[in-house]
Amino acid sequence: MPEVQAHADRLTESFAGRKLKSFRPLTFTALKTASPPPDQAYGLPLQRIGRRGKFLLVTFDPVTFVIHLMQGGRLLVDTKQSTKPRGGQARFLFEHHPNDPPGVDPPALLLTEQGTERRAGVWCLATPTALATPPLASLGPEADTIDAAGLTARFAAMPNTRIHGFLRDQHAVAGIGRRLANEVCHRAKISPFAMTRKLGADAAATIVAAIQACVAEGLAKERQRPDMSSSKDRPSQVHSRTGQPCPVCGDTVRAVEYASYTVNYCPTCQTGGKLLADNTTSKFLK
């Protein structure tokens, strides 16, 4: 969330007021929905680029393009506009703006995704109903606005699950990814395997404070950058620090490995010195 929010703010500052010339999918899978069709936004000025959860909202009233970057996607300022950009998924082309140098094509916005998954995509939605339309309709409350009472209520309303998985579940709370889940659990001094139904109001308040602190730290870092950071450049106490000393207590940061993500934690800070089992069924290694 901090990375996406800061990037949305940067792009709004650079592109607000520019009129859309065309939207061009560069792969068959890029455009997920087209109701209304993208051409209804042609000739309209960009109002803003916002965020909902992990999604970017590129709004030309009454049309909003909703973009999910997934793990390897980026929405880049595109000045070269090559025919076959590396990892190119879709491109937004804009009309000339009075501030553009004469004889130079105006910058475009290019959606890219590296790797082989090709899961990044664009949904074209009607602006008035966009937030109530898939894929946005099922998102939970924003992580940076939820309070302790709200989080306690979510614990009770959602299926009982490990807090790390709960935080990453966009239906439970929107905007938290793998890195932030690791960092929030560590800052809150809560085991990533703690079950949500056993976490009461006090734990919820601690987790909310940890979310707010981690988001603020991430935003401060991202707003110093000219572009969206890569994972290795983002602030972390435990995330991607397996085998390194915990900055808080000096214990060794441990990892529980899964197929698509890694849970990082500090035994001293979070689990009373116990090591979490590297599987989905056992709570602890004896």
Domain 148-285, CATH among 3.40.50.720, 3.40.50.1000, 1.10.8.50, 3.30.160.60: 1.10.8.50
Q: Is the pLDDT of residue 178 over 50?
A: yes
Q: Is the pLDDT of residue 188 over 90?
A: yes
Domain 2-132, CATH among 3.20.190.10, 1.20.1090.10, 2.170.150.70, 3.30.450.40: 3.20.190.10
Q: pLDDT-based confidence at 141, cuts 50/70/90? A: very high
Q: Is the pLDDT of residue 283 over 80?
A: no
H or E element in which residue 151 lies = helix 148-157
H or E element in which residue 157 lies = helix 148-157
Compute the CA torsion angle 186, 187, 193, 195 (nearest 10 deg): 180
Q: pLDDT-based confidence at 281, cuts 50/70/90? A: very low
Tell me the C-alpha distance between 217 and 201, whole Å: 24
H or E element in which residue 93 lies = strand 88-94
Whether the Cβ atoms of residue 122 and residue 115 lie closer than 8 Å to each other: no
Rounded to two decimals, what is the model's pTM?
Answer: 0.87
Percentage with pLDDT > 70 across the chain? 94
Residue 285 CB partners (closer than 8 Å, separation 6+): 274, 275, 276, 277, 278
Lowest mean pLDDT among 138-147, 219-228, 247-256: 219-228
Tell me the C-alpha distance between 182 and 237, whole Å: 9
Q: Is the pLDDT of residue 232 over 80?
A: no
**DSSP output for 7-71:** HHHHHHHHHTTPBEEEEEESSTTSEEEESS-GGGGTTPBP-EEEEETTEEEEEETTEEEEEE-TT
Tell me the C-alpha distance between 158 and 97, whole Å: 48
Mean pLDDT along residues 192-221: 94
pLDDT of amino acid 117: 65
* 101 CB neighbour count, 10 Å cutoff: 8
Q: Is the pLDDT of residue 282 over 80?
A: no
Mean pLDDT along residues 260-269: 92
Which of 64-78, 133-147, 217-231 shows the highest mean pLDDT?
Answer: 133-147
pLDDT tens-digit series, residues 62-117 = 999 999 988 778 899 998 888 888 889 999 999 998 888 888 889 999 999 876 66
User: Across the chain, what does the average pLDDT equal?
Assistant: 90
Residue boundaries of the structural domains of the chain: 2-132, 148-285
Percentage with pLDDT > 90 across the chain? 70
